[in-house]
Amino acid sequence: MAAGRGDSGSARAWLEKVVREIGPDLLYAGPVPSCGFLAARLDVHPLALMSWGYDVLLDMEQSPRKRRQGAFALSRADLFICDCEAVRRKCRPQLGTARIVQLPWGIDPKLFSPALADNLPGRPEQWGDSLVLISNRSWEPVYGIETLAEGFYRAWQQESGLRLVLIGAGSMAGFLQGFIRRHGLQDVIHCPGRIGHDRLPDQYRAADLYVSCSLTDGSSVSLLEAMGCGLPALVTDTGGNPEWIREGVNGWLVPVNDADALARRLLAASFLDREHLRRMGRQGRRLVEQRADWSKNSRRLLAAITELT
């Protein structure tokens, strides 16, 4: 099922009609408290329920209604698919006899691979040998954009060699533009807009460190892409992120909504030489090769679903 919000009568009627006409061998639905809830109400089996990470870690905490809908969907599932241990732990008590398959979202490690040469596109020439940070999350409150902007600014005040590439767009564009203008960061923060998937690898390769201040994450695809390209990562200590980041080995974790902690860690990273950062990035690359190759994970997903029919 395509993602949706809420439980409208028209959506349920449409789904009932489709199921009645097709007579599917299996119903596959997610996110859990929205489309998963709609599917579970039909009492069609087998039901494969897939969490999208944020639906369990964030959406189900927003209201008692969402929690009830999510719990109902989980209790009716025959197969539950999740992308991280944090989601698994939270859902396990409500799953009954459902089989659980845990596998992360993944990437193409051949496309998202480390740089083979210097001076790749994506790094403004005037930045020279500055330490370049990159963030590729939508400009929405759930991704901690205010914390990222404020933490970067506090670090930059003490280390003027820091630079930031903010890829994306979103409802907080006005806030970001105003923040950059008020603090005179026009030459320090580069906002190239949304970037096509084929251009993303060069953007990652042109940076030195990946940063995300998300309020919640499952297995973040952006994080995996950056790690695949050989970047160490500085991300929030939430959801599935600790399953990918080993402190001081391939990156660092900071508390959610803590601009001071972010600034301190950015400053500490700026004192490391580039070869040290590259060694950390290689550790992350190896982890992606082992666990986040989507060509392998997708086959596991298909096999789990096929076993139900």
DSSP states of 82-105 as a string? Answer: ESSHHHHHHHGGG-TT-EEEE---
- The pLDDT tens digits for 141-158 are 999 999 999 999 999 999
Tell me the two tokens of residue 187: 């030459």
Neighbours of 219 (CB within 10 A): 26
At 234, which helix (H) or strand (E)?
A: strand 233-236
Tell me the two tokens of residue 85: 């241990």
The residue among 27, 66, 22, 64 whose CA lies nearest residue 43 is 27
Q: Quick check: 250 and 199 in contact, CB under 8 A? A: no
CB pairs under 8 A, 24+ apart, for 290-293?
291/104, 292/104, 292/105, 292/106, 292/107, 292/109, 292/219, 292/224, 292/227, 292/228, 293/106, 293/107, 293/108, 293/109
At 27, which helix (H) or strand (E)?
A: strand 27-29
Mapped onto helix, strand or coil, the DSSP state of residue 145 is helix
Residues 200-225, mean pLDDT to the nearest whole number: 96
- The pLDDT tens digits for 69-124 are 999 999 999 999 999 999 999 999 999 889 999 999 899 999 999 977 655 566 67
**Local confidence band at 6 (pLDDT 50, 70, 90 cut-offs):** very low
pLDDT at res. 96: 86
Place of tokens 């069609």: 44
Chain-centroid distance of CA 248 in Å reads 21
The overall pTM is greater than 0.75: yes
**Local confidence band at 8 (pLDDT 50, 70, 90 cut-offs):** low
Place of tokens 């506090």: 154
- The pLDDT tens digits for 241-293 are 999 999 999 999 999 999 999 999 999 999 999 999 999 999 999 999 999 99
Which domains are seen in the chain, by residue range?
9-106+294-306 (3.40.50.2000), 125-291 (3.40.50.2000)
pLDDT at res. 164: 97
